[in-house]
Amino acid sequence: MAQAAKTAVAAAPAARAALGLLGIVQAAFAFLAFWDLAHRDSRQVTGPKPIWIPVILVNWIGPAAYFLFGIKR
């Protein structure tokens, strides 16, 4: 039991670093979606632009949905 606890503690810094990196990537993804929404003409966005604001706030799924379905091609 003590060995498992030592292994978990030893892995904690690497796990925390990985989660921190994922958090930064997710924040950047959301920022890019908000930036694109703010600078894109409303005629190029599917639906009203204010509807996309809370959608983008949904982790990972929101920005992905905006880039996949929110931009008219």
- The whole-angstrom separation of Cα 61 and Cα 73 is 20
The model's confidence at residue 63, banded by pLDDT at 50, 70 and 90, is very high
Contact of 59 with 26, CB cutoff 8 Å: yes
Question: Taking residues 38-63, what's their average pLDDT?
Answer: 96
Q: What is the pLDDT of residues 4-40, one digit of tens each?
A: 656 556 668 888 888 899 999 999 999 999 999 999 9
Beta-strand runs (E) in 1-73: none
Crossing angle of helices 2-39 and 49-56, rounded to 10°: 170
pLDDT for residue 22: 94
Three-class SS state of 45 = strand
Residue 63: name the closest of 40, 24, 37 by CA: 37
Band of the pLDDT at 3, cuts 50, 70, 90?
Answer: low
